[in-house]
Every structure is written in structure tokens, then in C-alpha cells.
């Protein structure tokens, strides 16, 4: 019975367990020493062990870091963003938050002492972690505007939150670093949910060409389009290096463009190189096409 309870805990924690958990489950200090000596427990952090073999998944390392900081610790900041899939972790470092009255430290750990509200904490993949909204607030203090917009868009794409819900949640949060930055980012009239860095680079070019705010991530003719201006019947696609370089994908792109044209729409497609290195060319093409479409509407 004891062993089944321990193994259940280990499976839920991505292959790791803490000394304090083993003691709570009824294992004696001497039994723990024996298991370390015979290679059944492998120290990861002080008082935290990988079970059976020393190799851990990324989730196992995150879980071990949280356990090393005690039962009230949670994954936070860049590590929380990586767990949620909305950001990148700090190289070779794991960030953990603990209550103000606790002091923890360890190699490869960045420990933040902070006041943690109950609503700030949740679990994802079984790992105690700062929730999505406060994680975005934390990121706002250290990311560029472009990277922060990317994190917001990624959270929206993963159905973790959306800009409207996020903006409403900010009004319920107490004042803390990052809230104002995140609120300003969302309140900017130029903010638009997009799927990629390339799409975010395109939006300022479109504004300079005299185009208003487009609809994004909308389905037209059974395909999701990057940008759509319904009043003009204009669709713009931005072709990145990753998703549009194979012959099969290029053939599908042409078929989508043909379907749009049959439906009476005007599809335009710009490449990564054009948007990044030839923005004046992209703007000139947009201006010419927009002038033609507006003249046609005026007739």
C-alpha cells in the first residue's frame, strides 16, 4: 500500500519526489538513505530526487525545482511562460516564486519572494504554476512590446485567454509591476491579435498604405486568412519561411487564392523577404491595389 501511494505521487510529478513528501507518505529517513545508496533515488536538487533513473523531461525539471522550494512554491515568470507555451525559459535557469516569509535557494534556481494570491496560482500538467494572466503581467516588465504582443497572441491562439478577457482581468488586479504596461499594450489602437512576428511587422506597413484596422484570423472560403478588409474585399496573406516553403503548401496557397478570386475578392500575398527587407515595395503595392479597389467601389 505504501509503495503504491509513493508511485502514484511519482507518476503525477513527472518522475520526481521530495524528501518531505516521502516522509509524509511514511518512508523513514533510513529507508530514503538506502534508496539513494542503491541507485533507486537520484538527487536532482537538495531534498528532491528523480526516481529509477536520473534523466528527466523538461516537465520533470520544472516539477523538481518547485518541490525543492517547498510545498508553497510555484513555477513563475519565464519558466511559467514556457510551461504555458507562450514564451521561452531563461537559459539553464528555472524561476520559482515562494511566499514572502520563506527563503529558498539552490543551483540553477531563481527564487522570487512575493505575495501570492490564491487566484494567482493554479496547476498545469500537474505542476504548480502562476496562472496565465499574472504570468503575462510578470512578462510585461521584461519583454519588448513586440515580444509581449507575441505572448498575448500565443495565449489567445492556445485558448488560454483572449485580449478582451485579459483586459477585463487587469481591472480586477491590484497595482503591481507590469499591469500598467500590459494595459497600455492592449489599449493601443494599433494592437491586433496575430499569429506570427511576420504578421506583426506587416500591420504598420498596411497602416502607412492607408488601410484601416483589418479583421484577423477569419475564415473565408473555407480557409483562415491572415488579414481581411471586408469593405474592400481585400485579403492579404503573409508567407513565412516555415509554413510556405514546400511545393505542396505553395500549391494549396494558389488554390486558396483562386477560390478567393472566384468569390470576387482580391487576394495579395507577400513573402518574408519582402516584408522584412522591402517594406517600401509592399507599401507601394498596397497603395496601388487599395486605390483601384476604392475607385471601383465609387463607380
Tens-place pLDDT, residues 168-188: 788 888 888 888 888 888 776
Residues of the chain with CATH 3.40.960.10: 197-298
CATH code 3.40.190.10 for 197-298: no
pLDDT band at 103 (very low <50, low <70, confident <90, very high): confident
Q: pTM higher than 0.75, yes or no?
A: no
Of 209, 204, 211, nearest to 233 (Cα)? 211
Identify the burial level of 237 via C-beta atoms within 10 angstroms of its C-beta, where 0-12 means exposed, 13-18 middle and 19 or more buried.
buried
Burial of 36 (0-12, 13-18, 19+ CB in 10 A): middle
Q: Report residue 203's pLDDT band, with 50, 70 and 90 as the boundaries.
A: confident
Name the pLDDT band for 299 (thresholds 50, 70, 90). Answer: low
Q: What share of the chain is helix, strand, coil (3-state, %, to 5)?
A: 50, 20, 35
Asked if residue 82 has pLDDT above 60, the reply is yes
Amino acid at each position: 500500500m505504501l509503495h503504491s501511494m509513493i508511485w502514484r505521487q511519482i507518476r503525477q510529478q513527472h518522475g520526481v519526489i521530495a524528501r518531505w513528501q516521502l516522509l509524509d507518505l511514511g518512508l523513514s529517513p533510513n529507508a530514503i538513505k538506502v534508496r539513494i545508496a542503491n541507485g533507486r533515488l537520484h538527487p536532482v536538487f537538495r531534498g528532491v530526487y528523480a526516481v529509477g533513473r536520473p534523466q528527466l523531461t523538461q516537465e520533470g525539471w520544472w516539477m523538481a525545482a518547485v518541490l525543492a522550494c517547498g510545498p508553497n512554491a510555484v513555477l513563475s515568470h519565464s519558466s511559467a511562460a514556457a510551461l504555458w507555451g507562450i514564451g521561452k525559459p531563461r537559459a539553464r535557469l528555472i524561476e520559482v516564486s515562494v511566499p514572502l516569509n520563506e527563503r529558498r535557494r539552490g543551483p540553477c534556481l531563481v527564487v522570487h519572494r512575493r505575495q501570492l494570491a490564491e487566484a494567482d496560482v493554479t496547476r498545469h500538467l500537474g505542476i504548480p504554476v502562476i496562472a496565465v494572466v499574472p504570468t503575462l503581467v510578470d512578462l510585461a516588465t521584461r519583454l519588448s512590446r513586440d515580444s509581449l504582443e507575441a505572448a498575448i497572441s500565443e495565449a489567445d491562439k492556445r485558448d488560454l485567454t483572449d485580449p478582451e478577457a485579459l483586459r477585463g482581468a487587469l481591472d480586477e488586479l491590484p497595482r503591481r509591476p507590469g499591469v500598467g504596461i500590459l494595459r497600455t499594450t492592449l489599449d493601443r489602437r494599433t494592437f491586433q491579435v496575430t499569429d506570427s512576428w511576420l504578421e506583426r511587422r506587416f500591420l504598420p506597413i498596411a497602416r502607412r498604405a492607408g488601410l484601416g484596422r483589418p479583421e484577423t484570423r477569419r475564415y473565408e472560403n473555407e480557409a483562415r486568412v491572415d488579414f481581411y478588409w471586408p469593405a474592400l474585399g481585400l485579403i492579404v496573406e503573409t508567407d513565412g519561411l516555415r509554413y510556405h516553403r514546400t511545393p505542396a503548401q505553395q500549391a494549396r496557397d494558389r488554390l486558396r487564392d483562386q477560390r478567393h478570386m472566384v468569390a470576387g475578392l482580391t487576394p495579395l500575398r507577400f513573402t518574408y523577404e519582402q516584408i522584412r527587407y522591402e517594406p517600401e515595395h509592399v507599401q507601394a503595392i498596397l497603395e496601388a491595389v487599395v486605390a483601384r479597389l476604392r475607385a471601383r467601389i465609387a463607380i
